[in-house]
Amino acid sequence: MESQIHSKVQEYYGGIAKSITQGQQESCCGCGSTGNQSCCDEISSSAVIYKGENLNDLPKEAVDASLGCANPLVFAQLKEGETVLDLGSGGGINVFMAAKQVGQAGKVYGLDMTDEMLTLARSNQEKMGVKNVEFIKGFIEDIPLADASVDVIISNCVINLSDDKPKVLSEAYRVLKEGGRIAIADVVNLKPVSADIKSKTDLWCGCIAGTLELQEYRNMLSEAGFQGIEITPAHVYTKEVLGQIFGNSPEYNASGVDMDEVDGAFAGAYIKAEK
């Protein structure tokens, strides 16, 4: 199952997790930015993504490790007692928020393939003393859970990184109970962009190369068996926003990307569907 993409992604996110564990980095930029720029821009800081949520009872390292592109919990509508799975749980921010909502009668699994992220997430769990959470190692393309065992799947800025999205979605469908739902935040493509521009843009904003257009995403969800599909762009990356995020990055400045072409081409979106 381990692919070249997996190794690259593990190396990248493993490095981020390590520096947070060592207290060196606040990684508030979603989407694999290259770390040279000052983060915490208007769109990607956890304060903006999780506006209105109480993050004060989460460990600093869980909030610092926030790498998402939108908040899946605003539309997941979790209920007490539900079993939730977070695909690509990173430092655990979405898992801990979900755990509060489902309560002691519920359970939240965080699935991640990167050892350093799992170590960070488990250390955060220990600091919080939460018992209704379990971090498990594995690939989102091969989910290590039984069929029909989960009520809700959440995820934040992860599926765009996979080189086998149909497999991720069919695995998500398999582990969901009948009537279960997904509430996913992911980066999507809002207008056609050439493969060349995508791969150049990916050099400074690592979640771009694998983004899907809205209709492609809908088709893939539908082919996996999902119904009631809704995709709503939440945070649009205009060229001004991209400039704010990446303006200090050498990769951004050397990429030669025509910013008019990428202006408004990508967004962090809310994706909902049911089994």
Ligand X SMILES: C[S@@+](CC[C@H](N)C(=O)[O-])C[C@H]1O[C@@H](n2cnc3c(N)ncnc32)[C@H](O)[C@@H]1O
Binding site for ligand X (CB under 6 A): 6, 9, 13, 65-68, 88-90, 93-94, 112-114, 117, 139-141, 156-158, 161-162
* CB 274, CB 227: distance < 8 Å: yes
> CB-wise, 65 or 152, nearer to ligand X?
65
- H helix runs in the chain, sequence order: 4-21, 46-49, 60-64, 73-76, 93-102, 115-128, 165-175, 195-202, 214-224, 239-246, 250-254, 259-262
Least distance between ligand X and beta carbon 134 (Å)? 15
Least distance between ligand X and beta carbon 208 (Å)? 12
How would you write 153-215 as a 3-class SS string?
EEEECCHHHCCCHHHHHHHHHHHEEEEEEEEEEEEEECCCCCHHHHHHHHCCECCCCCCEEHH
Least distance between ligand X and beta carbon 112 (Å)? 5
- How far apart are alpha carbons 11 and 5 in whole angstroms? 10
> CB-wise, 14 or 259, nearer to ligand X?
14
**How far does the chain reach from its first CA to its final CA, in angstroms?**
25
- How far apart are alpha carbons 204 and 259 in whole angstroms? 13
> CB-wise, 97 or 176, nearer to ligand X?
97
Residue 259 identity: M
Least distance between ligand X and beta carbon 136 (Å)? 10
Q: Which of 133, 151, 50 is nearest to 89 (CA)?
A: 133
Least distance between ligand X and beta carbon 210 (Å)? 10
> CB-wise, 13 or 252, nearer to ligand X?
13
Least distance between ligand X and beta carbon 152 (Å)? 15
